[in-house]
Structure 1
Amino acid sequence: MSITGTLIVQMIVFLILVGFTMKFVWPPIAAALDERAQKIAAGLSAADKAKAELVAADKKVQAELSAAKDSAAKRLADAERLAQQLVEEAKARASEEGAKIVAAAHAEAQQESTKAREVLREQVAVLAVKGAEAILKREVNAGVHAELLTRLKTEL
């Protein structure tokens, strides 16, 4: 066989091999490559989606954290305002109680002063009667001279 015949036979064998490969070997390899490409694309898409969800979840967490901080600050401000209000009410009640105590003490002091004056007047009247009795050297009848004693009390 000559080189041309060998070359022709090799070409025929090569073409048969290429045809066999194109018909039976290449489609499964191409399908596997396409499937692999689809899986990679799906994985990248899922990764992008997960990244977007992570960003959205992070924003949601930040918003909820901010809302929680605002709520806590508002509750703290309300508690402080309530405490201040309670303190003011307690001060007002204490001031009222103090005023009542001072008024009661003042009234009691007035009563005691009046009683003391009355006692002193009676004692001075008794002393005046005793003094007058001692001066006159005789007994004075208190029942008979009651008007005189009353007038003496008022003058003193």
Structure 2
Amino acid sequence: MNLNATLFAQLVVFLILAWFTMKFVWPPIMKALDERAGKIADGLAAADKAKTDLAHAEKKASDELRKARESAAEFRSGAERQVAQLIEDARAEGARIVNAAREAAEAEAAAASQRAKEALREHVAVLAVAGAERILRREINAQAHAELLTQLKSEL
């Protein structure tokens, strides 16, 4: 065989194969590669968008957490103020009740003292009358001398 004819035949077969590949094989491969590149680009864009969404969501979550903490602190301070006010009111009410009880006890003690003084005056008056009766050796009529006895009680 001739080297030139073989070389020429191989060149023709190569060119036909190259043309066939360029016409029928290459476009679907390029189309698949372009679709794959598009999917990869879309995936990268989605990943970038997911990153920005995640950063935005994290920022929003931290803002919400900060707001919740501030709200809880405000609620806690309000509750502490209410508790302090309730304690102060309870102390004032307790002091008022103690003062009222003290005044009532003092009034009761004064009334009991007055009753005891009256009873003592009565008793002293009876003893005075008994003593005077013995001194005079005669009976004194308490009904007849009621004014004298009342005056004696007031002097005691």
Give the TM-score normalised by structure 1. 0.88
Q: Which residue identity does 2:27 align to in structure 1? A: P
Instruction: Report the alpha carbon displacement of residue 58 of structure 1 after superposing the two structures with TM.
Output: 1.6
Q: Distance in 2 between matches of 1:25 and 1:140?
A: 155
Instruction: Report the alpha carbon displacement of residue 52 of structure 1 after superposing the two structures with TM.
Output: 1.4
Other-structure match for 2:126: 126
Other-structure match for 1:63: 63
Q: Which residue identity does 2:151 align to in structure 1? A: R
Q: Which moved more, 1:102-111 or 1:132-141?
A: 132-141
Other-structure match for 2:108: 108
Instruction: Report the alpha carbon displacement of residue 5 of structure 1 after superposing the two structures with TM.
Output: 4.2
1:35-114 equivalence runs, <5 A: 35-114=35-114
Q: Distance in 2 between matches of 1:82 and 1:94?
A: 18
Instruction: Report the alpha carbon displacement of residue 79 of structure 1 after superposing the two structures with TM.
Output: 2.1
Q: Distance in 2 between matches of 1:50 and 1:112?
A: 89
Q: Distance in 1 between matches of 2:21 and 2:121?
A: 144
Q: Which moved more, 1:102-111 or 1:1-10?
A: 1-10
Cα deviations across residues 106-140 of structure 1 (Å, max 9, x unaligned)? 11111111111111111111111111111111222
Identity of aligned residues (%): 58
Q: Which residue identity does 2:155 align to in structure 1? A: E
Q: Which moved more, 1:4-13 or 1:124-133?
A: 4-13
Q: Distance in 1 between matches of 2:89 and 2:143?
A: 60
Other-structure match for 2:135: 135
Q: Secondary structure at the match of 2:139?
A: coil
**Structure 1: 5+ residue runs without aligned partners?**
none
Q: Distance in 2 between matches of 1:145 and 1:21?
A: 156
Q: Which residue identity does 2:121 align to in structure 1? A: R
Q: How many residues align?
A: 156
Q: Which moved more, 1:87-96 or 1:3-12?
A: 3-12
Aligned-CA RMSD value: 1.8
Cα deviations across residues 67-86 of structure 1 (Å, max 9, x unaligned)? 22222222222222222222
Other-structure match for 2:148: 148
Give the TM-score normalised by structure 2. 0.88
Other-structure match for 2:20: 20
Q: Which residue identity does 1:115 align to in structure 2? A: R
